[in-house]
Structure 1
Amino acid sequence: MNPPTRAAADKVADEVKIAEASKRYAKLDGNGNELSVLASSWSCVKDKNTGFIWEEKTNDGGLRDKDWRYRHMHNSGGYGGVRDTNGQTLCQGLGTCDAYSYMYAVNGSGLCGRNNWRVPLPKELGTIAQINPGSQPPPPHIDTNFFPETANIPRKGAYCTENVDGAEHNYQGIDFGLPILYSAFPNESPANVLGVSILVPLRFYGEIADGLINNPGQASNWICYTRLVSR
């Protein structure tokens, strides 16, 4: 018998990774029904470890498209317009591209049979971050078998998280594309290093270097992608 080719070996390795991931995650259809782990399209992902249901993004220009971005500097909706200050489209299908308006729209759609979608807390969104295999783990730091549409744009691709203290300059996000800063935190566990490496202030995410200092009150920053959660 001939030895397996490299391509065949890689395919087996990929199938093993998918099988291992399926012990934790399940793909759901638009009604919330569980699909085969090999399904090529799905609407949500269930984390069997935490019980959280996560929205999956689309690549169709619709409401949940992976490329849409949102203002996130208030715990409410109805502000921010549909373009950034450079004139680039933030999102389509909403009157204002902010995280809460998006949340309301997704709840109205009944995605995966649910209407209690919300912006996740930082610690909640952090539960789906992971350290990928390899000596230099490649980003995005998430299981792309289940979350393939995750933005991987370091220092531009943060995901919105809920702000618990209400101060605009304290709104934070998770950037799955940032490098893991092992050298900066030599005494911390890998999981803790991952957490502090990818948690970012949204005041640095937008069209200018620092929205708080350089452009106060103009909402040029505090721009993030979304991945809503339900339970």
Structure 2
Amino acid sequence: MPTAPKWVNDAFETLASSMMRTVEVVGTTTITPQLKKIRFQGDFKTLRFEIGYSISFRINAKDTRHYTVSYGNCEEGILEVIAHIHGNAPGSNFMKQLKPGDVVKMAIPFGPKQYDPEIKKQLIFGDETSLSLMLAFLPVLQQNKHQYQFYIELNEENISVPKILGLDNYTVFSKHEVFRNKEKIRELPIFKNGDWKNANIVLTGNINSLQNFRKVFKEHNHKGKPFVKGFWLEGKKGL
């Protein structure tokens, strides 16, 4: 619930207090003017962390925003996120001003299953808002010797970010081009043969882009059911 009346948010924090944690910002790194890595420390020993889990913050009386965890170590009490800082938006302003020493409340990590260890090939698609998810996937894909690809659509000023973050097996696409055009999507190498028909597909980021990508997968009779989660849409507040 990104936006709700103040009394609803107040009630949630009171009635679901076991789902809340007080955390401290212990580190921040500006990757680009649009991307910021934030490290939080708290008591997470009773929690578990899975790929794709997100945490949420109440950024003002009515608004809550969710951020995918890029790295989690519950034993050490550490969680990290990559926040997309874009424009004068409530979530962006909240994350932009966070600095070491700040103490905030967050809802504990949660989310649906996105990773299937039994499937050899894995394709993860997204944009700046998906980089945390990709970083969470990366060590597991490497350790379990998957064949994997990251397809990432980025603004020009963020083209170098995947390399900075240490991602591999990635292809960068300019935003608002390939994935806004189903004809261009059909020309992607993964659709040129049947090698990826059974892959685990994770589609995140911009809703228009991932919907187009999903439709082309359906046209090609993809065997699996893609995981689809839109993080943002032009003109839409707080997905």
TM-score when scaled to structure 2? Answer: 0.24
Structure with more of its chain in strand, by fraction: 2
Q: Does 1 or 2 have the higher relative contact order (CA < 8 Å, sep 6+)?
A: 1
TM-score when scaled to structure 1? Answer: 0.24
